Amino acid sequence: MPERRVRSGAWDDQEHEAAFQPLTRAEVQALRERQPQVPVWWVVAAQAAVGGVVALLAWAWSGERVVFASALYGAAVVVLPGALMARGMSSRISSMSPGASAVSFMLWEMVKIAVSVLMLALAPQIVQPLSWPALLVSLVVCMNVYLLALLWRRPAKKQQSGT
């Protein structure tokens, strides 16, 4: 019986190894200039600002303080766990190795989710009376700031050399 080669994807192992070329320092630098990262603390601050604006708009629209408080709490459900995760991911342990970074990311993501769920569960006790629609609208709008941050990423301007 002839030996069968199992292909797991578009390339077999030998083709994949031949196609992979590590980047040089200059190539990595050029890639980072073309694809700049948005600082995580900028995203957290933008979420807080957007949450404050949504809460003020909800208050202006409804004229009720309870709607303002509920919308503000909805923003806090996104901002506080996000800030906690950002702080955890910026620790030295998180940047020791790729493996430690991946485990740290998963751990802090679980903490972020747990804190968010706990804050939502405690919402009726903390904000009384609670306006769930205002809370949820604010929460969804603040979560979508991540999408805006991705769209905001712009390549750095190319420096023109004088000839």
Give the residue from 36, 38, 31, 39 showing the smallest Cα distance to 156.
Answer: 36
Give the mean pLDDT of 141-156.
77
Residue 163 located in a structural domain: no
In the structure, what pLDDT confidence band is assigned to residue 8 with cuts at 50, 70 and 90? low
As a whole number of angstroms, the distance between CA 44 and CA 70 comes to 19
Residue 96 located in a structural domain: yes
* Phi-psi region at 63: left, alpha or beta (left = phi > 0; alpha = psi -120 to 50): left
Written as six digits, the tokens of 131 are: 């306006």
Residue 70 located in a structural domain: yes
The one-letter amino acid at 154: R
Residue 24 located in a structural domain: no
- pLDDT, one tens digit per residue, over 15-48 is 555 667 787 888 777 877 777 677 888 889 999 9
Residue 102 located in a structural domain: yes
**Eight-class DSSP state of 93:** G
pLDDT score at 156: 47
More confident position, 77 or 156 = 77
The one-letter amino acid at 139: L
Instruction: Name the pTM for this structure.
Output: 0.72
pLDDT score at 105: 87
Residue 22 located in a structural domain: no
The one-letter amino acid at 137: V
Residue 30 located in a structural domain: no
As a whole number of angstroms, the distance between CA 102 and CA 76 comes to 26
Instruction: Look at the chain and report how many structural domains it folds into.
Output: 1
Residue 137 located in a structural domain: yes
Range of the domain at 74: 44-152
pLDDT score at 124: 95
Contact 71/98 with Cβ under 8 angstroms? no
- pLDDT, one tens digit per residue, over 81-136 is 999 999 988 877 777 777 888 888 899 999 999 999 999 999 999 999 999 999 99
